Amino acid sequence: MNSACEHLNQVLVNTISKLAQDKERVDQWDELTGSALMALRTMRNDAMKYMPAMLLYGQEIRTPRKRFAVGEQVLMKDQTPSSKFHPKWLGPMTVTKVTDYGVYYLAGLNSRKLQPTRGGQW
pLDDT reported for residue 122: 44
pLDDT in tens, the chain (122 residues): 788 889 889 989 988 888 888 778 888 888 989 988 988 888 887 788 888 888 888 888 877 777 788 999 888 888 888 887 788 888 888 999 988 877 888 888 765 565 655 555 44
Q: Per the confidence metrics, is the pTM higher than 0.75?
A: no
* Whole-angstrom distance, CA of residue 109 vs CA of residue 94: 9
Domain extents in the chain:
2-57, 73-118
pLDDT reported for residue 81: 80
The neighbouring-strand residues paired with 91 are: none
